[in-house]
Structure 1
Amino acid sequence: MKSWFRTEDTLAVVLGFLIVGLGLTPLVGVDLLGWAVAVKEWVDPAKALAPASGTYAALTGLGSLGATYAFLLVALSVGIATLGGKPGQFAVRFTVLFALAFACWTAGHYGYIAATPDKQKALGVEWSLGLTGEAGYLLALVGGLLIGNLSPRTAEWFKTASRSELYIKTGIVIYGAGLGVKAAEESSRAGVVLFRGLAAIVEAYLIYWALVYFVARKFFKFSREWAAPLASGISICGVSAAITTGAAIRARPVVPVMVSSLVVVFSVVEMLILPFAARTFLADEPMVAAAWMGLSVKTDGAAFASGTITESLVYAKAAENGHVYEKGWMTLTTTTVKVFIDLFIGVWAIVLGAVWAWKIDKQPGRGVPLADIWNRFPKFVFGYVLTFGVFLAVGLTHPEAVSAPKPTAHAPTAVKAEAKTEAAPPAKPPAVPALKRGTDQSDVFRRLFFVLTFFAIGLSANFKRLWAEGLGRLALVYVISLFGFVIWIGLAISWLFFHGVLPPLAPATGGS
């Protein structure tokens, strides 16, 4: 226990708590994190960066970038000093690493690369690769790989700042806060969606994981180090689940990151195919279609986008048959299912850490290795669980902090003839609730830590060695698993739990 307080796990938890703690300040009317730089999907470079909060609009995008860099530099340098490192050396090399990784992150948000079909019109683009902003992760990995493989001496110079495990662990601790708010927000909605969504993902996840692991081990002869993160990446969500699994089984950091990259790429394929398949075959079962998106599309951004696209396509076809449904219910179902899937990250880390210590890496002649289970368990998951629990509790006890009240419809009032020419003031968009606003701001840092992770791992990865270990076969396993059984099991379970459940009819049609 004492040694844990001098590890990267502890530093990750402290940094994560600091950032999510600042995210709580909007609850008391103070905004201490809104200066963080948010990267938006862009076509005009001048519109790519902006402060996360309008409160700091005067700071401009470049100003918020400078503030974010300075905050990370100071916080991480102090942390490195507590670990016995050289903060001065770290600061110089982190500056260059941050600049390169952030450039990749920004480039990944370019409209023609990132915009999903539901956002193309707003950006004024006629086509896009539709990779979402998570394309920045791929570009960061590629950038790191290019440097690491073409200039090994440069990659070695970065070594002091290439702390991939510290970055990803901190990001996952922050991730817990956002999931806690999402869970609290959904808990105030329809109970049938919550219960059925939870039941569906438990069943689907346990089936997915076992089958992917079996296929990778039995037919493609992957080691457990590769098979377990692959199974988690396909079963839960690419980045966080695969890396947390890798930590639980003590896999090399590069293994789950390569898995995560495949997840991002194939999520785009799913996003282009599944919504249109749902429109064709599931127009009479909109909630089945919505749950299917959440169970099958494996990254958060692509899953939420798929739910939005599917709702627009299915609702349009249903309207042709005289069924006009209330908007938002399909998107809610997709989001709920995906959030519950994400919550399994911490649970599964505990399970796998125990299994690996007790059965797979157990030493002969020993009983239940409780000490080994404790040592193997990734301690930063405690931070993830705690941030999730705190934000969930706050969201449940203060629902007004996570869910904006619906606008109340008022009966039209008589207007005097002489006043009819006066234009009514435009309706203001509903204010973002305080806690949700704070977690959106802290999530800026979660994404930055993730992109730093991808770039750092690229620097340390030998592409020839990875290919020899079976990177090509890894993609083949993913294709076979995804199209061979993952999407079909997801469809079957969605049908089982949501068949016959319909969104309410829109008020104009006489529905509730």
Structure 2
Amino acid sequence: MAQERNSGSPLLTTEDWWAVWLGLLIFFLALGKLYGVDLLGWVVKTNMWIDISKALSPVSKQFAQSMSGITSLILTYLFLLVITTIGAAAMRFNVGRFVVGFTIIFWLSYLCWIIGNWGPIAAPTEADAQKLGMTKPVLRLTGEAGFIVALILGLIIGNFFRGFAQFLEEATRPEWYVKTAIVILGASIGIKACDALGLAGQILARGLCAIVEAYLIYWPLVYFIARRYFRFTPEWAAPLASGISICGVSAAIATGAAIRARPVVPIIVSSLVVIFAVVELILLPFLAQAFLYTQPMVAGAWMGLAVKTDGAAVASGAITAALIQAKALNALGVNWDKDFITMAAVTTKIFIDIFIGIWAFILALVWVYSIERKPGVQVQAIEIWHRFPKFVIGYFLTFLVMLLVGLGHLQDKAFIDTAKAAMGEADSVRGIFFVLTFFTIGLMSNFRKLWEEGMGRLAAVYLICLFGFIIWIGLFISWLFFHGVYPPRLPM
């Protein structure tokens, strides 16, 4: 979660805005390829491998002719270290500890990424296996298995090596990393949407269902259960309802601030949210692969509606997309574009995020004028903007720019192919931010903390609500709005 350490301009002192700046920087560097200047071609790409020497290469074939994969990896690390450290310094983190922590997190995360691309783990089809010299695929997880490996390693460190996890704490920023990745994702989806304008419009329109579900169904039910059956005070019940039903950490913090709860309340709720998000992240993608591989967009939207915190929701969407793509390839002979499955998860989650500020404003009004009845206290409408998730601006900006660029050159296939290649280079950076997200989510997940802080009753509410109705209502709503909607098919 973002930590406000100073009173400077939010444009330079919050993780939300720095996700926008980093995402836009990478996006604009990628745009150089459209004008004959390849500014990101040196970024490292991880390939499926049997021979480890072939695991790494620059993302651009032009750079691959003169640069080794190891050199590309080192340059990528240095680039990301510099830009994230600039952000860390602006946000007044402990820069020395951030640099050391980020360095360790980067290399451990990338090692997981490489392991996840090992042929027996990653190869999804017979053809992929044979290209690698294998007789047949084994686990069929695709390269995104690296996300799972990163999560597992993070969980091990976070729960069994607490001193080491605390040492890395300054750079353990999953929300920052995933929001940066989401800004970059907008560009990739934007150029691909030119080939499927109707589908992109459907996803955006149907994603609005998230608002109805999260705010008008989930929230009242959780609040009622917490108050009626577990006897929590409104101070505890409201942040808990927001954390479980809306957007996890961000919503719990925004709600706590809106109702002026004691600082300990959203902190404890946030810890609970992160832990349960990891449980969902481990379970739900595999359930989706088993039962929803014929309805990929339903599966993607389900992740956005059911999994809390931006990091875990988008991570679940990415894993689900990869698992379903692999399953559909083998079971149905269809190669769906997994980015559109991920887009369904991201879009539903983002629409929920957009309304956090409005919901916090509404709750502030209710608390001031009804529950606590504070005469003379005014609630300013500007609070809606203060609580608006700014990274959403970056996501829609990159999406719209690439959509408009693509629409302006629809008849120029060479230009469109170059634009897709350019955004593919940005996607390589996005993949790294995703794997950093998975690893740091694991680092933050201290299961023992639940009991040490006496959160048994809170955990009971979360468990009952999450597995009692949130997951299943989310599945029903996703099916209602996305059943029969399919992503584009890619060549086999």
Q: How does 1:454-465 map to 2 (within 5 A)?
A: 454-465=438-449
Do the aligned partners of residues 26 and 268 (structure 1) sit closer, same or farther apart at CA in structure 2, a change above 3 Å counting? same
Distance 2:275 2:419 in 1: 31
Number of the residue aligned with 1:434: 418
Number of the residue aligned with 2:284: 266
Q: CA deviation at 1:33?
A: 0.5
Candidates 56, 75, 78, aligned match of 1:49: 56
Do the aligned partners of residues 335 and 14 (structure 1) sit closer, same or farther apart at CA in structure 2, a change above 3 Å counting? closer
Do the aligned partners of residues 35 and 223 (structure 1) sit closer, same or farther apart at CA in structure 2, a change above 3 Å counting? farther
- 2:169 is the alignment partner of 1:159: yes
Q: CA deviation at 1:62?
A: 1.4
Contact 1:118 1:308 in 2 (8 A): no
Contact 2:300 2:321 in 1 (8 A): yes
Distance 1:68 1:148 in 2: 26
The SS at the match of 1:33 is coil
Number of the residue aligned with 2:343: 339
Number of the residue aligned with 2:406: 395
Distance 1:194 1:104 in 2: 32
Q: Which moved more, 1:27-36 or 1:71-80?
A: 71-80
- 2:75 is the alignment partner of 1:67: yes
The SS at the match of 1:449 is helix
Q: CA deviation at 1:355?
A: 0.4
Number of the residue aligned with 1:5: 11
Q: CA deviation at 1:20?
A: 0.9
The SS at the match of 1:19 is helix
The SS at the match of 2:292 is helix
- 2:191 is the alignment partner of 1:181: yes
Q: CA deviation at 1:180?
A: 2.4
Do the aligned partners of residues 474 and 107 (structure 1) sit closer, same or farther apart at CA in structure 2, a change above 3 Å counting? farther
Do the aligned partners of residues 338 and 358 (structure 1) sit closer, same or farther apart at CA in structure 2, a change above 3 Å counting? same
Distance 2:291 2:149 in 1: 24
Matched AA of 1:74: V
Number of the residue aligned with 1:371: 382
Q: CA deviation at 1:400?
A: 5.6
Q: Which moved more, 1:147-156 or 1:59-68?
A: 147-156
Matched AA of 1:342: V
Q: CA deviation at 1:395?
A: 2.3
Distance 1:209 1:245 in 2: 11
Number of the residue aligned with 1:453: 437
Matched AA of 2:167: W
Distance 2:224 2:138 in 1: 38
Contact 1:144 1:457 in 2 (8 A): yes
Number of the residue aligned with 1:410: none
Contact 1:108 1:137 in 2 (8 A): yes
Do the aligned partners of residues 110 and 357 (structure 1) sit closer, same or farther apart at CA in structure 2, a change above 3 Å counting? farther
Distance 1:131 1:290 in 2: 16
Matched AA of 2:420: K
Matched AA of 1:454: F
Q: CA deviation at 1:80?
A: 3.0
Number of the residue aligned with 1:101: 109
CA displacement, residues 407-436 of structure 1 (integer Å, 9 cap, x when unaligned): xxxxxxxxxxxxxxxxxxxxxxxx971222
Contact 1:40 1:48 in 2 (8 A): yes
Q: CA deviation at 1:88?
A: 4.4
CA displacement, residues 346-381 of structure 1 (integer Å, 9 cap, x when unaligned): 433221221023216844454543233332223333
Contact 1:36 1:67 in 2 (8 A): yes
Distance 2:477 2:31 in 1: 39
Number of the residue aligned with 2:260: none
Do the aligned partners of residues 303 and 97 (structure 1) sit closer, same or farther apart at CA in structure 2, a change above 3 Å counting? closer
Matched AA of 2:29: L
Mark the runs of 5 or more structure 1 residues left unpaired by the alignment: 233-240, 279-288, 317-326, 406-430, 504-512
Matched AA of 2:72: S
The SS at the match of 2:45 is strand
Number of the residue aligned with 1:38: 45
Matched AA of 2:81: L
Candidates 145, 154, 159, aligned match of 1:149: 159
Distance 2:114 2:437 in 1: 15
The SS at the match of 1:398 is coil
Distance 1:371 1:96 in 2: 40
Number of the residue aligned with 1:19: 26
Contact 1:34 1:51 in 2 (8 A): yes
Matched AA of 1:374: W
Contact 1:16 1:171 in 2 (8 A): yes
Candidates 140, 146, 149, aligned match of 1:136: 146
Q: CA deviation at 1:23?
A: 0.9
Mark the runs of 5 or more structure 2 residues left unpaired by the alignment: 1-6, 231-235, 257-265, 305-316, 369-373
Q: CA deviation at 1:247?
A: 7.2
Contact 2:158 2:165 in 1 (8 A): yes
Do the aligned partners of residues 39 and 242 (structure 1) sit closer, same or farther apart at CA in structure 2, a change above 3 Å counting? farther
Do the aligned partners of residues 86 and 444 (structure 1) sit closer, same or farther apart at CA in structure 2, a change above 3 Å counting? same
- 2:380 is the alignment partner of 1:380: no
Q: Which moved more, 1:49-58 or 1:339-348?
A: 339-348
Distance 2:108 2:211 in 1: 36
Matched AA of 1:108: G
Do the aligned partners of residues 482 and 131 (structure 1) sit closer, same or farther apart at CA in structure 2, a change above 3 Å counting? farther
Q: How does 1:299-338 map to 2 (within 5 A)?
A: 299-300=317-318, 302-303=320-321, 306=324, 309-310=327-328, 331=336
Distance 2:384 2:210 in 1: 27
Do the aligned partners of residues 216 and 34 (structure 1) sit closer, same or farther apart at CA in structure 2, a change above 3 Å counting? farther
Give the share of equivalent positions with the same residue, in percent. 31
Q: CA deviation at 1:98?
A: 1.4
Q: Which moved more, 1:299-308 or 1:98-107?
A: 299-308
Do the aligned partners of residues 355 and 64 (structure 1) sit closer, same or farther apart at CA in structure 2, a change above 3 Å counting? same
The RMSD of aligned alpha carbons is 4.2
Q: CA deviation at 1:68?
A: 0.4
Number of the residue aligned with 1:355: 359
Contact 1:353 1:377 in 2 (8 A): yes
The SS at the match of 1:24 is helix
Matched AA of 1:33: L
The SS at the match of 1:370 is coil
Point out the structure with max Rg over C-alpha: 1
Do the aligned partners of residues 26 and 295 (structure 1) sit closer, same or farther apart at CA in structure 2, a change above 3 Å counting? same
Distance 2:391 2:201 in 1: 29
TM-score by length of structure 1 reads 0.69
